[in-house]
């Protein structure tokens, strides 16, 4: 079986989703799958997150569904219970990282500095999120940080778009990019699933 890292390397784009209503989860997952991006990071920024993870995973068992904006251990528990396959957080909280490691679920905490990277290495991580990517120097920063920390790989997120994703993915240190441009809240609220599917297809075409 493939590891979660290997699945990210294959899919290369991680839609970062904020869902107000768990009822929208199945249709959204369908649009992502049809659009060629069978993956979602469902953020714990709404109360619907765990139920949305459950519905996506049940409707599309082959989809790679995980939890984002995970700030508390209770959210790790809720995410695992709902079927999440990975955990993402905006920053590096050693307590959350260790808890995920104990539970055996892959975790991708956000880092933006050399010191945070050293903490991540200390915790035994080999892939981290780089967040917020664009305002922290984007591709240039990843290249600079990769010089001393050549063993580490990144999942940049924050400010990534159809326009700049190509340059991020051309870095050998980048396994996948996270982004919300194809799953904007307004598109979900207006149930524009065809448009979401089309945006996914455009993104897939762009990185091919």
Ligand X SMILES: O=C(O)C(=O)C[C@H](O)[C@H](O)COP(=O)(O)O
Nearer to ligand X, 38 or 179 (CB): 179
Least distance to ligand X from the beta carbon of 1, Å? 26
For residues 143-169, one letter each, b for 16 or more C-beta atoms within 10 angstroms of the residue's C-beta and e for the rest, the string is: eebbeebeebbbbbbbebeeebbeebb
CB atoms within 10 A of CB 27: 15
Beta bridge partners of 16: 41
- List active site positions: 41, 129
Nearer to ligand X, 77 or 150 (CB): 77
Residues forming the site for ligand X (CB under 6 A): 16, 43, 68-69, 88-90, 131, 157-160, 178-180
Nearer to ligand X, 35 or 68 (CB): 68
Least distance to ligand X from the beta carbon of 50, Å? 15
End-to-end CA distance of the chain: 24
Least distance to ligand X from the beta carbon of 68, Å? 4
* Separation between Cα atoms, residue 8 and residue 85, nearest integer Å: 11
Helix axes 25-34, 49-59, angle to 10 degrees: 50
């Amino acid at each position: 079986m493939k590891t979660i890292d290997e699945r990210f390397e294959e899919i290369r784009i991680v839609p970062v989703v904020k869902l107000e209503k768990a009822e929208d989860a199945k249709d959204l997952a369908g649009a992502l799958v049809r659009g060629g991006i069978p993956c979602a990071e469902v953020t714990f920024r709404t109360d619907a997150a765990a139920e949305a993870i459950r519905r996506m995973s049940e409707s599309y068992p082959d989809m790679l569904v995980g939890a984002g904006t995970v700030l508390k251990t209770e959210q790790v528990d809720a995410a695992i219970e709902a079927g999440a396959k990975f955990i993402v957080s905006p920053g590096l909280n050693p307590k959350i990282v260790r808890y995920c490691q104990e539970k055996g679920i892959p975790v991708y905490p956000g880092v933006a500095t050399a010191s945070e990277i050293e903490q991540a290495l200390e915790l035994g991580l080999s892939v981290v999120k780089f967040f917020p990517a664009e305002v922290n120097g984007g591709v240039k920063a990843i290249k600079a940080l990769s010089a001393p920390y050549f063993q580490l790989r990144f999942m940049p997120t924050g400010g990534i778009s159809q326009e700049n994703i190509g340059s991020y993915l051309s870095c050998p240190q980048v396994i996948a990019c996270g982004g919300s441009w194809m799953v904007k809240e307004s598109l979900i609220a207006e149930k524009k699933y065809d448009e979401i599917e089309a945006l996914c297809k455009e993104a897939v075409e762009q990185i091919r």
